[in-house]
Structure 1
Amino acid sequence: MKGISIRPMMSADKAAVEHICIETAPPFLCSNDKRREYTLLMYNRYYTRVLQHSFVAVDTNDKPVGYILCAPDYKSYKQDFYRNELADIRRLGIFYSISARSEVCSVSKHAKKYPAHLHIDILPAYQGRHIGKELMNALFHHLKEQHISGLMLSVSRENKGAIAFYEKCGFRVLSKGAGLVYGMKL
């Protein structure tokens, strides 16, 4: 991880984190303006509003090259997400609204045992350098200090690289549906 350090996310990082989110998203999620906006609303904007549980990997110029975003309490996240991001997603159209609700609800049955959930992305040029593992370790340490008992995430079945990474980090499959939900006790 030469030349890369991990630090808490700051509001000044928001634009760079949005850029990373779009750069690392599957092409179909960024094929037009509506889909790009949906992607940012689903996977980025909540976390960058509530950023005290998120970390960035930065280069020697303090420019973010990756991030791990976290909501420590699913119930609070869901309420806040519905009140804020979902309102904006509804304006994009019914398909986006249904898709967002479905994805947010897909993990709800695991929220008691795994109250925190995460979203992690690293720019392609920086992948394979153990940055993801260091971001995970920073988050694990932070959540343990906060006495959070478990952490979950959802991932597409097609994202084989991410699945292998999560399993290597110690996550286990909690449920299978359109995607996979992984969890880890802390």
Structure 2
Amino acid sequence: MEFEFGGGYVLRRALREDHPAINLVCLRTGNSGRDATAREDDPDLLGLIYSVPYQVLEPDFAFVVEGPNGVCGYILGTPDSAAFYERAGREWFPPLAARLADPGPDESRWRGSDWARRAIHHPEFIYPEALHEWPAHGHIDLLQETRGKGIGRRGMRYLMTKLREAGAQGMHLHVSPKNLGAQAFYRTLGFSVVQHPSLPRDTVFMAAVL
């Protein structure tokens, strides 16, 4: 256990046996912070793309929030985005792709989780030079039951401290343009929007010095 938040909620190191719970949290927050269950035909793929790889490849920076009803959130990161993406592309995604059919590039033919299957076959790692000043990155997703308790703020500060102790001088985040609540939350932690022509316009990038 790393520490207690109070009210029966604790932050602890994520384990391999937490993968199903991590997948579920990712699914239930996968629509810009809202539940994506109705949208997906494979409930595990979001977590296998965006969350579980951190527990496997960066276990020292992968934490779950556990409450009275079990795992209800996670806080994940890496101090070296370039190294993480290289390993993910070499070690993580090829075995996943080997057991999933590629739906092809025609988005008009995609159904259900085809977008995720396509992303697994053709992973996109967004780390242009404009973000190199902030080499660490992270993710946080919390179920509704945890919100409003200070868990996100304390958990993120804990991750940021861990990343700084590992040598990272700065941290960046990818945020959905629709998730205004998340953007406001990150601003309270010292993050601000990064704007550069090389960055995709369909994602908001925020960064902070650690």
TM-score interval, smaller chain = 0.7 to 0.9
2:64 maps to: 56
Q: Counterparts of 2:37 and 2:137 in 1: how far apart (Å)?
A: 21
Shift in CA distance, 8/173, structure 1 to aligned 2, threshold 3 Å: same
Amino acid at match of 2:180: K
Question: Could you tell me how far apart the structure 2 residues matched to 1:30 and 1:119 are?
Answer: 23
Sort the Cα spacing of 1:30 and 1:84 in 2 relative to 1 into closer, same or farther, 3 A.
Answer: farther
Q: 2:21 aligns with which of 16, 20, 24?
A: 16
1:165 matched to 2:185 = yes
Number of corresponding residues:
182
1:161–1:84: structure 2 CA closer, same or farther, 3 Å change rule?
same
Question: Which structure features the higher share of helix residues?
Answer: 1
Aligned residue for 1:114, secondary structure, equals: coil
Indicate yes or no: 2:164 matched with 1:136.
Answer: no
The TM-score, its normalising length taken from structure 1, stands at 0.84
Q: 8 Å contact 1:154–1:179 — kept in the other structure? A: yes
Mark the structure with the bigger radius of gyration: 2
Residues 171/17 of structure 1: CA separation in 2 closer, same or farther (3 Å cut): same
SS of residue matched to 2:51:
helix
CA distance in 2, matches of 1:14, 1:86: 16
Aligned Cα root-mean-square deviation (Å): 2.5
CA displacement, residues 116-164 of structure 1 (integer Å, 9 cap, x when unaligned): 1111100112212111111101101211221211111101110011111
Task: Among all aligned residue pairs of Structure 1 and Structure 2, give the percentage whose two residues are the same amino acid.
Answer: 27
Deviations 1:3-54 (A, max 9, x none): 21222222232221111111111155862335x4442232113112122211
What runs of 5+ residues in structure 2 fail to find an aligned partner?
Answer: 1-5, 106-117
| Equivalent position amino acid for 1:40 in 2 | G
Give 1:26-37 correspondences, 5 Å limit.
Answer: 26=31, 27=35, 31-34=39-42, 36-37=43-44
> Is 113-122 or 91-100 further displaced after alignment?
91-100
Question: Unmatched 5+ residue regions in structure 1?
Answer: none
Aligned partner of 1:93 in structure 2 is 103
Specify whether residues 101 and 11 from structure 1 end up closer, same or farther in structure 2 by C-alpha distance, changes over 3 A only: closer
Q: Sort the Cα spacing of 1:71 and 1:93 in 2 relative to 1 into closer, same or farther, 3 A.
A: farther
Partner Cα distance (1:114, 1:120) in 2: 17
The 3 A distance-change label for structure 1 pair 65 and 32 is closer
